[in-house]
Amino acid sequence: MRNWGPRAAFGLIAVACALYVIWGVGLKPTAALAGGPIGADAKLKRYSGAYPTVGFVDAAGKPHHLSEFRGKVVVMNLWATWCAPCQKEMPTLAALQRSFGSAPILIAPISIDSKAAVEKAKAFMAANKPLPFFHDDDGALTPALKPPIEGYPTSFIYDREGRLYGVVQGEADWSSPKTKALLEKLAKA
């Protein structure tokens, strides 16, 4: 058996790392290479299910459930002020909501911030009009969701009947024409 020595071992490790990087980059979409977020349509994974039964509150502390929005397509986005990707994608969600006008489509961002950070979360949402402010004030919503949340942000898309259409895990660019077309198609169904 040949003794390779430290230099040869280092060289093999360097080559292996380079191949790993080249192979990994080759699998990533072009948007990711350009430093931009991937479109929500490209990250969407299809799931089935129904509205969660756990509620949340609005800016005034009034309780709500997603079932109140039956008849609308709902994009429930779970986010937090401490989550940089959440903050980065929120303007694209706001722009998407503005683009729908009076269409029966609601972007419902629900903050998972602690009660101590609610005012900060409200201020952040005020800068992202026309999105409403909702808060998971007791922390019960996230653990009740199926499929389970892998990280933040995560968005659940429900059709007009309250059926889960799909989930987008992680930061996404919601300004994609394909995403808008999908939501409009669900609103017409």
pLDDT in tens, 71-114: 999 999 999 999 999 999 999 999 999 999 889 999 999 999 99
The DSSP string of 85-123 is HHHHHHHHHHHHHHHHTTSSEEEEEEE---GGGHHHHHH
Query: What tokens appear for 107 in the block?
Result: 């972007």
Pairing between β-strand 44-46 and β-strand 105-111 as defined by DSSP bridges:
unpaired
Please name the residue ranges forming H helices in the chain: 5-26, 30-33, 40-43, 84-100, 118-126, 141-144, 177-188
Domain co-membership, 56 together with 30: no
Domain co-membership, 31 together with 48: no
Domain co-membership, 108 together with 82: yes
Domain co-membership, 21 together with 61: no
**Residues spanned by the domain of 28:** 1-36
Separation of alpha carbons 109 and 93, rounded Å = 9
For the entire predicted model, the pTM comes to: 0.79
pLDDT at 8: 52
pLDDT at 23: 37
pLDDT in tens, 146-189: 999 989 999 999 999 999 999 999 999 998 899 999 999 999 98
Q: Give me the number of domains the chain comprises.
A: 2
